[in-house]
Structure 1
């Protein structure tokens, strides 16, 4: 690990001042303070973030296993129960729905039929527990931003057939760029002075919260980690069975990259180990190569399966030195820096780590209202066991591309502008801009562009069928 001794005198002095200021912060635990100082020390020592491009190799099928080569799972319910009793599901629940105009945790946005992300997750796990008589617990990793709200929300599941645990990820102080001091020690005591350091923090936080030891004592072996807004991230018995049979300590689900995913991290073989390559680590002259879908054909879905004993071993050894992601921000006109890590980057520290190249259906994130339009439309149905299933009537394997203007950005505005979500089974692309309102029972096909002229309201009438058209006014419908 980088130590203060490896820093130049100016950096070392900076670090000592920061340590003293951090020690005086009484809002966070000793574990959080030492985790923060560790991260800063590694950052100041300038640990190499770039990879040597000439050493990158494309992973073989042993390293990134094709999903359709996984062995089938036994039909015997007793065998399935045995598998599932080793599993814990952990959803990353630290994000607020601010980009979509919501104030609380993103996981409480309604997705379909009045059910939220969290409702669907609970229904899915409840169904498994009921069907096989197993006990798969659900863990929610919150941030200080979502913790209080989530505690209130999970009360409604008190009578359900599922153990729900919540724990908080670390809370670190933002750094003032000018003098490298913690923002909270400058008199800013509000929430803005702090940040959650990315989902790479899931491993130490799981350990520090005491949840890891509790799960190990219950005989749990694997945790399935996924973003709470990925509707495709459901428990998969074939993956679990494969990892247990092959003693893989870590598995990242990857899926074939399309032009919409060019910024997503990819898996490479590097110096004999499997490693996540993120766009931030790519030398400038190779960025276009990284974005192409010819050389790097897969990307990280952030569905991760990790062995619990291995997490404990690596956290205790302080061995999880994931690449640092510097994230500059501004708070009340003050330039600040927050340093983060990503859970996927931990892959290179685990033994027998692999990727599995899964079907695209396991990656269905809702990052914006354009994604919400997809999952609320007839392109998907909702099964009784909480799964969002793609409509087989759609022949094109990829989803339509949808671009909605700023008028649709917030969930409330988005919902008010659609009397009902249009039928889009035969849609290739939709681009909407300006003050546009949709009636009910509308069908969109092919390539559709709807652009209201500045200052005019454009209403698409009930039951309109629009195929391969550009619409700028009522006369074009």
Structure 2
């Protein structure tokens, strides 16, 4: 969170005015009002997490544990059931599909074989519950943007072998910069006057909604938190087993950084504790160093495992420190015995754009019991890089332009621009660039194999 340092008198004057205005907003709870005022107070005070660069240390394998070093989980069915009965899964479900040209929650975009993100999540947890006879519940943290739609969608899982609970994250008013008055106070009705304050809000929202207490009363000990659009974020018994045996209050999954991830937050050791370092905290002089994959080799996948009693302790016992964190990963520094686990890249498979959709709908992956499994025929551990032009940005347009998704098992990179249309059974290998000339429709015929080619016109095929 960026901050601005005002002198204390000016800051208090602005805050006093804001408190009065926020007190009149009857659309939100007292907890939300307090959380919002705290966040603004921190912004005005300039109290950012200033990092002294010279104090940064690379975490050891003891605190960022290599996944391969984790002990195997118990093979006994009953022991596995006991482990899983201590777990709840929470998916962050506040985002809309607007950037991909869809209406409603992003989690209802069809990913593969007609299944949405949410379908796959439900199938995965259902198959766990069935296989081990356990009861892993699913919680969906919605925003005011996705809440109503999600409630309707969840009804279709009424007969599933899974408990589904929904709750809303906080709703904060947007501020008018000039006079520091909340937009809703100026007569701005409707959703435009409000915003959901980042996924760091998961901890206070769990508490304020009563869901935290409900989970604890059912004997749950850990919650696995992940973005609903990360297809790689599945329950992992090795990690859960490790956390319970070692009494780690918090675990962040990190994975090796590639050039595509240079802006992602990383874990550092700082003054004896693990801490998330994000690009906004980095002094300008060190930004290139931060982006380098030599010094900072890992980044945060936002797959988090957190002890429920520890959340309650930090939320209830006075300090409410978690209220101020706008990213859930930033809270790692408040938990005792916190660790990172350096996981395989397969646990980070987000779908942020149609280029990602092309990957997961292709023969690079198959679907088994709701799990997206990578094709062993691909020998390169990295996925191909895919760049699609604006003509492919919306899911509807993307689907229209492919008669069927090409085979990309042997593809290194694909760059497509202009008015390009793909036939059925197309095979892409090596480095392929397809650039239609302005005003020209370029059709790739059925069954064609393109290997290390640049295509600008039909004659190049």
Looking at structure 2, the residues matched to 245 and 364 of structure 1 have their Cα atoms a distance apart, in angstroms, of 28
Partner SS state of residue 240, structure 2: helix
Q: 1:318 offset after TM fit, Å?
A: 5.5
Whether 2:438 is the aligned partner of 1:451: answer no
Is the Cα contact below 8 Å between 2:204 and 2:323 reproduced in 1?
Answer: no
Which residue matches 1:356?
Answer: 341
Looking at structure 2, the residues matched to 440 and 294 of structure 1 have their Cα atoms a distance apart, in angstroms, of 42
Which residue matches 2:396?
Answer: 412
Partner SS state of residue 463, structure 1: coil
Partner SS state of residue 269, structure 1: strand
Looking at structure 1, the residues matched to 119 and 380 of structure 2 have their Cα atoms a distance apart, in angstroms, of 29
User: 1:19–1:233: structure 2 CA closer, same or farther, 3 Å change rule?
Assistant: same
Which residue matches 2:3?
Answer: none
Which residue matches 1:401?
Answer: 385
Looking at structure 1, the residues matched to 318 and 426 of structure 2 have their Cα atoms a distance apart, in angstroms, of 56
Unaligned runs of 5+ in 2: 1-5
Q: Name the count of aligned residue pairs.
A: 456
Looking at structure 1, the residues matched to 122 and 34 of structure 2 have their Cα atoms a distance apart, in angstroms, of 35
Looking at structure 2, the residues matched to 319 and 364 of structure 1 have their Cα atoms a distance apart, in angstroms, of 36
Alignment of 1:123-142 (within 5 A): 123-142=123-142
Which residue matches 1:376?
Answer: 361
Q: 1:190 offset after TM fit, Å?
A: 1.6
From 407, 412, 415, the equivalent of 1:431 is 415
Is the Cα contact below 8 Å between 1:322 and 1:342 reproduced in 2?
Answer: no
- TM-score normalised over the length of structure 2: 0.98
Q: 1:10 offset after TM fit, Å?
A: 1.4
Partner SS state of residue 446, structure 2: coil
Alignment of 1:196-345 (within 5 A): 196-317=196-317, 319=319, 321=321, 341-345=326-330
RMSD: 1.2
Looking at structure 2, the residues matched to 24 and 389 of structure 1 have their Cα atoms a distance apart, in angstroms, of 52
- TM-score normalised over the length of structure 1: 0.94
Is the Cα contact below 8 Å between 1:370 and 1:403 reproduced in 2?
Answer: yes
Which residue matches 1:55?
Answer: 55
Whether 2:373 is the aligned partner of 1:389: answer yes
Q: 1:272 offset after TM fit, Å?
A: 0.4
Looking at structure 2, the residues matched to 164 and 224 of structure 1 have their Cα atoms a distance apart, in angstroms, of 14
Partner SS state of residue 92, structure 1: strand
Partner SS state of residue 397, structure 1: coil
Looking at structure 2, the residues matched to 409 and 67 of structure 1 have their Cα atoms a distance apart, in angstroms, of 35
Looking at structure 2, the residues matched to 476 and 155 of structure 1 have their Cα atoms a distance apart, in angstroms, of 51
Unaligned runs of 5+ in 1: 1-5, 325-339
Which residue matches 1:422?
Answer: 406
Q: 1:90 offset after TM fit, Å?
A: 0.1
Which residue matches 2:16?
Answer: 16
After superposing on structure 2, the runs of 4+ consecutive aligned residues of structure 1 that deviate more than 3 Å are 317-324
Which residue matches 2:455?
Answer: 471
Is the Cα contact below 8 Å between 2:314 and 2:322 reproduced in 1?
Answer: no
User: 1:370–1:145: structure 2 CA closer, same or farther, 3 Å change rule?
Assistant: same
